[in-house]
């Protein structure tokens, strides 16, 4: 299965990734639309983040309206805000400030 995040292919991880919001949110709303070809999930957060995920038999495509940093070691996707700094650690993980 192919996996894309904001237009870039990334490795598939069993169990998926965890979203880490750099700007906390209080409320969110999720809507799932099922079609013959797959499923579209829309997630809207009160901090301005919008996440759209389309799952088909061949691929998973996710679009997030923010810059992101992917920590493949810890299976986390950091949803960045302006001013966040990302550094890579020796073990391949990320530190976000």
**61-93 tens-digit pLDDT:** 999 999 999 999 999 999 999 999 999 999 999
CB atoms within 10 A of CB 56: 14
Question: Against a cut of 0.85, is the pTM above it?
Answer: yes
Query: Where are the domains positioned within the chain?
Result: 2-96
pLDDT (tens digit per residue) in 38-48: 999 999 999 99
């Amino acid at each position: 299965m192919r996996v894309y995040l904001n237009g870039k292919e990334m490795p598939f991880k069993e169990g998926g990734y965890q979203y880490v919001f750099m700007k906390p949110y209080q409320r969110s709303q999720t809507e799932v639309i099922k079609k013959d070809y797959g499923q579209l999930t829309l997630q809207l957060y009160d901090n301005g983040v919008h996440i759209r995920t389309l799952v088909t038999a061949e691929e998973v495509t996710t679009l997030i309206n923010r810059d992101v940093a992917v920590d493949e070691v810890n299976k986390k996707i950091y949803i960045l805000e302006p001013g966040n700094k990302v550094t890579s650690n020796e073990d391949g993980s990320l530190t976000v400030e």
